Amino acid sequence: MKYVLGTAVMASFVASIASAGGIERARPAYNILFEDGNYAQFSFSQINADVSGDYSATAAFIGGSSSTGDMSNVERQIGFGLKLQLTDRLDAAVLLSQPYGADAVYGRGFYEGLTAQWNSTAVDTVLKYQINERMSIYGGASLLTSSADIMIPVALGNIASDPDGPAALGGGPLPGSIVSDYAASSSTETDVGYVLGAAYEIPDIALRVALTYRSAITHDFDAQESYTQLTLPGGVPTFTPVNTTTDTSIEMPQSWTLDFQSGVAPKTLVFGSVKWTEWSKWEVRPGAYEAETGSDIVSFENDVFTYQLGVGRQVTENLSLFARVGHETKKGGTASRLSPTDGYTSVGFGGSYQLGQAKITAGIEHAWLGDAETSTPTDFTGNTATGFGLTVGFAF
């Protein structure tokens, strides 16, 4: 059962379509802590999503198109993990991941020109202490580096800040003053959080239950904001270019993850996870943009639960296969134009092959993305995504 155990747990980190809503794209592979001896692994995944929406009649008339076109680009992530057995009871691991990401580009209609990018890299350093045969604890530091860029076309900027704009297009609370495209580019910031966890195992039946907590990490960005401002000194319209740097604090959310697995028959393992992430605390609210519009650029209203359940089966001495299903709960409410889907349901398949000291795991997953409506309103329905992942591990 030990061999299938390693395969199936690895499967839960391969080719993830999404993880816990928001802009989360990958989970650090803490499962490496439970590999025997010294171990290193490399991973690659790619997500191809097809996300488009239909504008309201008013927005379609203004923008000259009834559809947004596909607003999502191909996303790729790489990962690395190194685990060292320091003593009989103490292990150490260093994990590299790209946990958060966004690459939204609108090329048609009313939203044309709206773009957003978020880049991140995390380095986690974790120690695991084996209390006894069944109990272990682990914890360490998570170093997160992030940066972001956004462009909002002039039409959306004016509507966001014009109380007299059509209510259907999201009129805001302050007089219109942004009369050009709005651009913001953040500094690159590195900040530290922490990871804590505990696991319970019964090796004879390949049972493991692990609970992992990741703390929130707050970035204090310098946001370079650029736009043209309309003022009325003495009743005379004046257009003034604005280039300003403001302090923008963004909290990357805390999370709890419960991973579990258990043998249910010879050479057969059931595995899964339940994850809660506090996305309701995340918002992007640059100072100048808020002053002009009275609102944030993007935020999420609710926290998110994500579920996975799968089964692994050892087929031959060297080959194991797995299948899994995933589900992320719908959050409801008005969706962000930069993340215009709400939850998902997914199905994935894959396998693992042992080649000497190397283990190669690959999987593919298809997701049906939840329907959502943005504030224009624009309806995003019938969207899908397909992901592929490859992990190569080496025992040494």
Tokens of 151: 């462009």
- Residue of 105, 198, 98 lying closest to 149 (CA atoms): 105
Kindly give, in sequence order, each residue whose CB lies less than 8 Å from that of residue 3, ignoring residues fewer than 6 positions away.
314, 320, 354
pLDDT in tens, 113-172: 999 999 999 999 999 999 999 999 999 999 999 999 999 998 786 655 544 444 444 444
pLDDT in tens, 229-281: 877 777 777 888 999 999 999 999 999 999 999 999 999 999 999 999 999 99
Domain that holds residue 372: 2-395
- The CATH number of the domain holding residue 76 is 2.40.160.60
Q: How many domains are there within the chain?
A: 1
pLDDT value of residue 166? 44
Question: Phi-psi bin for 355: left (phi > 0), alpha (psi -120 to 50), beta?
Answer: beta
Give the strand pairing for 298-299 and 283-284. Answer: antiparallel
- Residue of 252, 247, 251 lying closest to 286 (CA atoms): 247
Dihedral (Cα; 232, 238, 241, 247), 10-degree rounding: -10
314-318: Cβ within 8 A, 24+ apart: 314/3, 314/4, 314/7, 314/267, 314/268, 317/354, 318/353, 318/354, 318/355
Report the alpha-carbon distance of residue 396 to residue 388 in Å, rounded: 27
User: What is the C-alpha R_g of the chain?
Assistant: 23
pLDDT in tens, 366-391: 999 999 998 888 999 999 999 999 99
At 33 the three-state DSSP class reads: helix
Counting Cα atoms < 13 Å in the Cβ hemisphere of 193 gives 18
pLDDT in tens, 209-238: 999 999 999 999 999 999 988 777 777 778
